[in-house]
Amino acid sequence: MTASDDLAGLYAAPFRISWPEDQTAPFVFASPHSGRVYPPEFAAQSPLGALSLRRSEDAFVDGLFSTAVGFGAPLIVARFPRAYCDANRSPAELDSAMFEGRLAGAIDTTSPRVNAGLGVIPRIVRDGAEIYRAKLAPREAEERLAKLHRPYHAALARLIEMTVARHGAAVLIDCHSMPSAAVVPDVVLGDRYGMSASPALVRHAQRVFESLGFSVARNAPYAGGYTTHVHGRPARGVHALQIEINRSLYLDEERIEPGPRYESLRARLDEAIRALVDVNPAILRGGGAREVPLAAE
């Protein structure tokens, strides 16, 4: 373990940004759930082994989308694991029952994600196992939000602002993976039912993936989460589109290792990203949207 792998190191560098030589595309790519720095302080709080804690990761998604940089778009990646702090949840989505004292700030007591154990400080990993041995001190929530969650979204907001300043519009692609299942397509595009991105942009993305042989669904079972909600403002020329990749296409889900098709999928995604960023700028300027509730991912 290096110094950057402990909690102090993670707080000092909660994310990394890969920059293109020149940002030629009005796009920003983000991977909020592929962080895999598990500080020993966190491991000591949990009865779960390393593999179980990793069940919540969108494992290796940062690598799958890393070639976006070569096509002129920056990529921001959260280094902290989703099981420790979920960057795609509202900071108000806290489960007060997990803590031994009163929490500061507003708490969303109606969130179905919190009730399911999947709030901004998750109670369980994706297979349902409890993460913690005992209740946490309230300062744990305050520190994780202040030193991980807020810096990540502040950096993401700056990337979007820089992109708008340069190109007059911006597209945030929020990159995720989803557990495999017989009924799950290859790709799910989430625009929060039209709220976070231009319909023309979503149609463009769907055509791109389908032209490369992917089966595509929109908003089901994942329509987008906090990231698309807070950053997507299509009426202002800022679009946020969540892309979910079926893990069966690239991952050994039991071992959490790249599967035999990882490199072939990465090559197909290279072509998808190349075509995706080659978008008509006219479809990024303005356009209304209606408000809908926060979705699952």
**CA 67, CA 69: separation in Å to the nearest integer?**
5
The pLDDT value given to residue 289: 42
The pLDDT value given to residue 171: 98
pLDDT digits (tens, 9 = 90+) for 278-293: 999 888 986 544 444 4
CB 74 within 8 A of CB 160: no
The pLDDT value given to residue 21: 96
Of 51, 131, 127, 50, the C-alpha closest to 98 is 131
Mean pLDDT, the chain, whole residue set: 93
User: What residues contact residue 23 under an 8 Å CB cut-off, 6+ apart?
Assistant: 72, 73, 74, 162, 163, 166, 167
Fold held by 3-87+140-284: Aminopeptidase (3.40.630)
Residue 130 DSSP symbol: B
The pLDDT value given to residue 182: 73
The pLDDT value given to residue 286: 63
pLDDT, average across residues 246-259: 96
Percent of the chain surpassing pLDDT 70? 95
The pLDDT value given to residue 43: 94
Question: pLDDT category, 57, cuts 50, 70, 90?
Answer: very high
160 vs 2, which has greater pLDDT?
160
pLDDT, average across residues 38-52: 95
pLDDT, average across residues 216-241: 96
**CA 86, CA 122: separation in Å to the nearest integer?**
7
Whether 67 has a pLDDT exceeding 90, the answer reads: yes
pLDDT digits (tens, 9 = 90+) for 69-96: 999 999 999 999 999 999 999 999 999 9
Which amino acid type is present at position 121?
A: I
Burial class (CB in 10 A: 0-12, 13-18, 19+), 265: buried
Measured CA to CA in angstroms, residue 31 lies from 78, 81, 115, 175, 275 at distances of 6, 11, 25, 5, 20
Whether 2 has a pLDDT exceeding 70, the answer reads: no
Residue 251 DSSP symbol: E
pLDDT, average across residues 270-279: 97
**CA 183, CA 234: separation in Å to the nearest integer?**
31
Whether 194 has a pLDDT exceeding 80, the answer reads: yes
**Statement: the pTM of the whole predicted model exceeds 0.75:** yes
The pLDDT value given to residue 1: 43
The pLDDT value given to residue 127: 84
Delimit the domains of the chain by residue range. Answer: 3-87+140-284
pLDDT, average across residues 234-254: 97
pLDDT, average across residues 208-236: 97
**CA 249, CA 265: separation in Å to the nearest integer?**
7
The three-state (H, E, C) secondary structure of 212-240, written as one string: CCCCEEECCCCCCCHHHHHHCEHHHCEEE
Of 70, 68, 50, 69, the C-alpha closest to 59 is 50
pLDDT digits (tens, 9 = 90+) for 5-16: 899 999 999 999
User: What residues contact residue 21 under an 8 Å CB cut-off, 6+ apart?
Assistant: none
Q: Interior CA angle at 192 toward 149 and 117, to 5°? A: 50
**CA 15, CA 150: separation in Å to the nearest integer?**
11
Which amino acid type is present at position 279?
A: V
**CA 241, CA 232: separation in Å to the nearest integer?**
8
